[in-house]
């Protein structure tokens, strides 16, 4: 058996800390866990990346440097907006990726932003209200950074989380460079399309609503679907259920 490597990519406003509740279960089941801190996210004190320098390519290069130190292909899992980076990593180096996993993640089709996804859904359902965190964001004066107010984070990201855990998570959120949020992947069928994919739906998600999760699966077909009855952060709210549903599927790649 090859070493079971799992590379975890956090979403916007988060960091590698967002996997702490799930990490012990992963380690117990024999996974080598590599949780990244994306450049410019404010969680790595050694990182000096300026907000204006943050791009999808920068994120991809950061993850690829890690992947190329490993002794074999890894499962690459993206939560929320981390799914965009995961997709682009697979397109850049499919030989390094055993499987892609989207955890309530942005499995956007080629050249499509999240705003574009919403527009596509509204073409079919004009009255759709995406709600989510967007209307609540607070912006830096130069427009390069957004922050999520505590109340909005608890209501939209963490509505089904225990209050103490929710408070701890909210306290760790950091300003998000816009260049690492409003991103569109550039994907090729012969590269990205060659990598197996799993999509883990969050059925009660108040951030990336289920109709949008389903639309992404329609527009980027081929992913195995798993469903969890929880909000936007299954790795915090339902780590055991997430493991029970996902890990047996991943074992087949090792």
CA distance 8 to 160: 22
Q: Which residue has the tokens 């190329």?
A: 68
**Does the pTM exceed 0.95?**
yes
Confidence of residue 252 (pLDDT cuts 50, 70, 90): very high
pLDDT tens digits along 195-215: 999 999 999 999 999 999 999
Separation of alpha carbons 210 and 225, rounded Å: 13
CB 18 within 8 A of CB 43: no
* pLDDT the model gives residue 130: 85
Residue 38 main-chain phi, psi, to 5 deg:
-65, 145
CATH class, 5-253 region = alpha beta
According to the model, what pLDDT value does residue 1 have? 72
Closest CA to 242 of 253, 231, 226, 254: 226
Query: For the segment 143-160, what is each residue's pLDDT rounded down to a tens digit?
Result: 999 999 999 999 999 999
């Amino acid at each position: 058996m090859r070493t079971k490597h799992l590379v975890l990519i956090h979403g916007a406003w988060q960091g590698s800390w967002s996997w702490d509740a799930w990490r012990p279960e992963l380690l117990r089941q024999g996974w080598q866990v590599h949780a990244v801190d994306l450049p410019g996210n404010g969680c790595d004190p050694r990182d000096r990346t300026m907000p204006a320098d943050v791009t999808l390519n920068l994120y991809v290069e950061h993850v690829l440097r890690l992947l190329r130190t490993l002794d074999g292909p890894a499962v690459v899992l993206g939560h929320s907006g981390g799914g965009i980076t995961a997709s682009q990593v697979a397109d850049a180096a499919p030989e390094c990726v055993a499987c892609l996993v989207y955890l309530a993640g942005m499995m956007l089709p080629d050249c499509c932003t999240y705003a574009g996804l919403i527009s596509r859904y509204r073409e079919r359902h004009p009255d759709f209200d995406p709600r989510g965190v967007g209307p609540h964001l607070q912006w830096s004066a130069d427009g390069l950074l957004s922050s999520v107010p505590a109340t909005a984070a608890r209501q939209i990201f963490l509505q089904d989380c225990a209050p103490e855990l929710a408070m701890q998570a909210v306290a760790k959120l950091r300003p998000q460079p816009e260049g690492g949020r409003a991103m569109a992947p550039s994907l090729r069928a012969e590269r990205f399309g060659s990598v197996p994919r799993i999509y883990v739906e969050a059925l009660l998600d108040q951030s990336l609503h289920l109709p949008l999760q389903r639309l992404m699966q329609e527009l980027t077909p081929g992913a195995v679907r798993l469903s969890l009855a929880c909000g936007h952060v299954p790795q915090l709210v339902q780590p055991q259920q997430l493991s029970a549903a996902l890990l047996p599927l991943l074992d087949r790649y090792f």
